[in-house]
Amino acid sequence: MQRRQILQSLGALGAVALAPPAFAQDSVESFYRGRTIMLTVPTSPGGINDISGRLVGRHLGRFLPGNPNVVVQNVPGGGGLVAANKLYNTSERDGTVLAIIQRGTMQLQIQGNPNAKFDPKAFTWLGSLSSFADDGYLLLVNDSHPARSAADLRKSGQVVKLGGDQPGSTNLTFALLAKTVLGLNIDVVRGYPGAAPMFLAMERGELDGQVIGYNSVHLIQRLHYCNL
């Protein structure tokens, strides 16, 4: 993988619990040398967040002073709330714990969700997996489904069954937006812990599709062919 591609992938990181104090370069190197960084993924193994996290975890240590080891930990649940709560309430606040946080998870706290036990202003945002300059979310359906366009899903009797995670997850948020704002005939089936289980449900015929980012699908294909 090219250095540029690795650096772009680092944008998958969501937040750290608190920004550590500023150190001189040699102090940062001394701090991280021989240490292990925990990278928390808020979804189950196999989905795009997990794949992105493991790709970043494989290379991140080479780009940090002291070259620390990076370990990926899956903490699924609550549409990302379990991971965000853990990051804020129990994780070390010294720069050794990072997490991928979905955008909707932060919105749940702002909206007053009682299960969001964190202050998003206390997190340091490191970047995003995509700038969306050349990306976008797809309403992806099985080829066996008769719908061939969004217009088809406005026709009477033409319904698509989409999977969704918990409130705060991107796939659920955009599926509900497509249903309520665009007026598409969508039946949302909640409770799937990530994209990978939804892809399996699509293969089994339990679901017709899901909402997922274009670059997420593209990355999965690249990793498959590059054996990363």
Residues contacting residue 85 through CB under 8 Å, at least 6 positions apart: 78, 115, 116, 117, 118
pLDDT number for residue 157: 86
pLDDT number for residue 17: 44
Domain residue spans of the chain = 3-125, 137-226
pLDDT tens-digit series, residues 77-89 = 887 899 999 999 9
pLDDT tens-digit series, residues 63-75 = 999 999 999 999 9
| Arithmetic mean of pLDDT, 186-192 | 92
| Arithmetic mean of pLDDT, 174-183 | 92
The whole-angstrom separation of Cα 125 and Cα 98 is: 10
Report the DSSP beta bridge partners of residue 161: 187
pLDDT tens-digit series, residues 191-203 = 887 787 888 999 9
CATH code of domain 137-226: 3.40.190.10
Unique residue bearing structure tokens 């680092």: 10
pLDDT number for residue 222: 65
Q: What is residue 163's three-state secondary structure?
A: strand
Query: Which band of pLDDT confidence, cut at 50, 70 and 90, is reported for residue 218?
Result: confident
pTM value is: 0.68
Query: Which band of pLDDT confidence, cut at 50, 70 and 90, is reported for residue 6?
Result: very low
Average of per-residue pLDDT values in the chain: 82
Alpha helices per DSSP H over 70-152? 81-89, 103-110
pLDDT at 135 over 90: no
pLDDT number for residue 4: 39
The whole-angstrom separation of Cα 186 and Cα 154 is: 9
